[in-house]
Amino acid sequence: MRDSRYFIFLFFLMDFNIGLAMSTGPKMISAKIEAPQEVVVKFSQPIPRLSVTDISIDQGIAVVDLVLEKEICRIRTSPFDVQKNYRIAIRGIGERELQPDGILNGFYSDKPLGCHFENGATVFRVFAPRATRVEMELFEKPEHASGKRWEMSRDPDGVWELRLPGQYSGKWYGYRIHGPKGEGEMFNPSHCVADPYAVAMATQNLYLHPAKAYIPNLDSFDWENDTWICPTPEDLIIYELHVRDMTAHPSSGVTPEKRGKYLGLIEEGKVGGIDYIASLGVNAVELLPVHEFANIEIDYKNPQLPIYNDWNPYARNHWGYMTSGFFAPESYYASDGNLEPNRWSGTQARGISEFKALVKAFHRRGIAVILDVVYNHVSHYDLNPFKYIDKKYYFRLDDNQAFLSTSGCGNDFKTERPMARRLIVESVLYWMKEYHIDGFRFDLAAMLDEETLEAITQKARALNPNVILIAEPWGGGKYGQEPFSRLGWCAWNDRFRNAVKGQNPFTDTGFIFGRLQGNNTVQSMRNYILGDLKAHGGPFYTAGHSVNYLECHDDHTLGDFIRLALGIVQKDTVIQDRDRHAQLSIPEMRLHRLGALFLLTSQGVVMLHEGQEFGRSKVIAMTEAPDPHVGKIDGNSYNKDNETNWLNYLHAEMNRELVDYYRGLIALRKKYRMFRWAKPEDIAFLPTGSPFCIAFRLCIDRPEKEEGIVVLNGDPKCSCTINLPSGQWFICVNAERAGATPIHRGVQDRVTVPPTSGLVLIKG
């Protein structure tokens, strides 16, 4: 007789094998409601057989039929109600909650959303197809904790509406959204959230960023016949700036109460701001985000909060890439704005008229206004309205209904949803109509779906055929300028930046340092000068689509890149004397001038970043924040509303020679069309005998004949001698000076260009 332990072992083995089979068998990866009567289930492996009787869905949903396609099962059912959540169970496999997905794309409405005055009534509309109940709450003042509530009614398209007889201008409102409970849901009527279509918001200075929407007065702003002024892309010289940084520093000379504000930026007769920008000669400004955004991030190292912030000691978002309202100007930059803890900002909605005044003032100077806009994600830690109106409609989610974060910002906006696409397009058109905005730079534009990009293009150009559309052509793991050029958009050309300056100051410097690394060759450098055209292996169909730049808000400034590359400072150097550090040495000045010359004589759009023209440095300023890196150079200053980012105009005066060099190059580019409108056949490269010296001759006869020669010598040790074509030439740019007028006349036969410098000659 066998030992009973044998049977115990046999039973254990059988139980183990059954468990192993279950653990290695097929699992449901996702289960989505794709249409009113269709569910699509994805399994971890192909399913050989499945019948209708193996599947059940709760709340009375009947399973009618199914089709198996390897690891995909398409199930036909009785109709679903999007205001309910459902669970599916499959015999032998398991169960999970059904995620409403494709079914939501069937909801669409053309009704005006937001708050409008219609036929003697104030009308409120919000799109929330899965909500089960919506209340509108009206407040006399945004600071009030509670107000009067009204129930809203839902139409078949998912739009909730309320009509109140009379006009309620000057009051504030929000929505309380009720919805189904279930996995991943965020419906929470205890939160009163702002209207996504709000034209102005007041916000409380907490990381939750409570917000109320403003009911506007009828527009009384006097534009004085102002309209769009959109230079053609080839003529664009863009100055990328942050509204607050331009005038917050006392050296700007701006009236103290206006520093860092919309009105401070346009205050005339001051060292900083609009007079300074206009004096450079640029014809467009590109404003870092001014859509209402979440300024304050989650408290630093507070273990009692749901997310533990151990990366941002400032607990601030300064640059603005966390949008809360796509139709509202940022209140912090208005005269009624502040960031004092717990106080409310923007309580008089002055941002509306003051931002209009800003646009009008720049237009009077002949300067176009471009907005940097963020539609790929929204604010992360706060009570962002889209999360509480319907997370599952407005966001890209994983199979467990958690936010995707391919943007790197905590949530990815589902731009392909029809009503999300409508909101994006209407936001663009609103800023064009209401604020006379000339163009847009789209943050992480590769994350916007193709249909949305096409809709923006079509609708914006129908309104203004000359609207400026610029893509940051990466995001979400995607990269490429060509798709945007095909649409007729401009796109940031980081290829140009990396070739001319380099990508990393320690290991990957570029042409101006006498290096050609990676894919960069003499031929590729020539192609960048021509506009990085597709016909020559580049991504652009026309040179006017290439936005050439050496510096932007991201990463190190050009000044700091050069300081680090030359070893003047190390990344861990603590800088004791900021003023002395800011003073450019002769080697630094040479590199700056050569980079500027390469940039401003190449075909394509030119973009400068604020302070680039004086070699600006971002040294982390001493503040109350517990930042261990104080005194070091900052390569990512997104969170610092202090002297790290504020422009110090004493440093601009200190490096006035470089500022004047940029002014001279801009004047040269604007005077001679050949630096903007030359085609490849108008440019001939001249022999130099050195891979680090590039010389080219430009000759156009449109509308009148112009002929010039540019020499760019990136060799740090050797001079370069160029034989000149016959004729008399005059020099208007050399190693020390730049402008549109002659420095030396009667030059002929040949010229010699010193190391790390350049030359421009004009025939005449």
* 245 catalytic residue (yes or no): no
Q: What percent of the chain shows pLDDT beyond 90?
A: 94
Q: How much helix, strand and coil, in percent to the nearest 5, is found in the chain?
A: 25, 25, 45
Task: Give the list of residues 6+ apart from residue 570 with CB closer than 8 angstroms, or none.
Answer: 564
- Bridge partner list, 286: 240, 370
The yes or no reply on domain 17-103 and CATH 3.40.1190.20 is: no
Q: Which residue, 386, 401, 408, is CA-closest to 478? A: 408
172 residue type, one letter: W
State the pLDDT at residue 37: 98
Task: Give the pLDDT mean for 572-577.
Answer: 96
Confidence of residue 217 (pLDDT cuts 50, 70, 90): confident
Confidence of residue 23 (pLDDT cuts 50, 70, 90): low
Does the structure show a pLDDT above 90 at 437?
Answer: yes
Does the structure show a pLDDT above 90 at 589?
Answer: yes
SS3 (DSSP) at 279:
helix
Does the structure show a pLDDT above 60 at 14?
Answer: no
Supply the pTM of this predicted model.
0.95
Read off the tokens for 615. 């070699």
The tally of CA atoms less than 13 A away on the side-chain side of residue 378 is 23
Residue-wise burial string across 597-621, b where 16 or more C-beta atoms lie within 10 A, e elsewhere: bbbbbbbbbbbbbbbbbbbbbbbbb
Residue 216: CB atoms within 10 A of its CB come to 17
Confidence of residue 41 (pLDDT cuts 50, 70, 90): very high
Task: Give the pLDDT mean for 242-255.
Answer: 98
Query: Residue 424 and residue 442: Cα distance in Å, rounded?
Result: 11
Options 101, 330, 412, 443, the catalytic residue: 443
CA 330 to chain centre: 15
DSSP code for 105: G
Comparing 23-37, 170-184, 357-371, 389-403, the range with the smallest average pLDDT is 23-37
159-182 per-position pLDDT tens digit: 999 999 999 999 999 999 999 999
| Mean pLDDT taken over the chain | 95
* Vertex 516 angle, CA 709 and 608, to 5°: 60
Confidence of residue 3 (pLDDT cuts 50, 70, 90): very low
9 residue type, one letter: F
- Give the domain ranges of the chain: 17-103, 106-214, 682-763
Task: Give the pLDDT mean for 571-598.
Answer: 97
Does the structure show a pLDDT above 90 at 1?
Answer: no
Greater model confidence, 702 or 136: 136
Options 101, 234, 472, 643, the catalytic residue: 472
- Bridge partner list, 293: 323
Task: Give the pLDDT mean for 259-279.
Answer: 98
Residue 656: CB atoms within 10 A of its CB come to 11
Does the structure show a pLDDT above 60 at 311?
Answer: yes
Task: Give the list of residues 6+ apart from residue 237 with CB closer than 8 angstroms, or none.
Answer: 281, 282, 283, 284, 606, 608, 666, 669, 670
State the pLDDT at residue 751: 95
638 residue type, one letter: Y
DSSP code for 585: P
492-526 per-position pLDDT tens digit: 999 999 999 999 999 999 999 999 988 889 999 99
Does the structure show a pLDDT above 90 at 707?
Answer: yes
Strand order in the sheet with 693-700: 683-686, 693-700, 706-713, 757-763, 729-733, 744-747
Residue 277: CB atoms within 10 A of its CB come to 20
Ranked by mean pLDDT, the top range of 46-50, 552-556, 698-702 is 552-556
Which of these CATH numbers, 3.30.930.10, 3.30.590.10, 2.60.40.10, 3.40.50.970, describes 106-214?
Answer: 2.60.40.10
Task: Give the list of residues 6+ apart from residue 371 with CB closer than 8 angstroms, or none.
Answer: 286, 287, 289, 290, 291, 431, 437, 439, 440, 441
CATH code that applies to domain 682-763: 2.60.40.1180
Work out the angle between the directed axes of helices 656-671 and 586-600 (0-180°, nearest 10).
20
Q: Which residue, 233, 237, 259, is CA-closest to 246? A: 259
Task: Give the pLDDT mean for 7-15.
Answer: 38
123 residue type, one letter: V
Does the structure show a pLDDT above 90 at 548?
Answer: yes
Question: What is the distance between the terminal CA atoms of the chain, rounded to a whole angstrom?
Answer: 116
DSSP code for 23: H
Q: Where are the alpha helices (DSSP H) in 194-265?
A: 262-265
Q: Which residue, 655, 604, 664, is CA-closest to 281? A: 664
State the pLDDT at residue 67: 96
Q: Would 17-103 and 682-763 be classified into the same CATH topology?
A: yes
104-123 per-position pLDDT tens digit: 999 999 999 999 999 999 99
Greater model confidence, 16 or 362: 362
* 749 catalytic residue (yes or no): no
State the pLDDT at residue 296: 96
717-726 per-position pLDDT tens digit: 999 999 999 9
State the pLDDT at residue 517: 85
In degrees and rounded to multiples of 5, residue 296 shows phi and psi of -105, 130
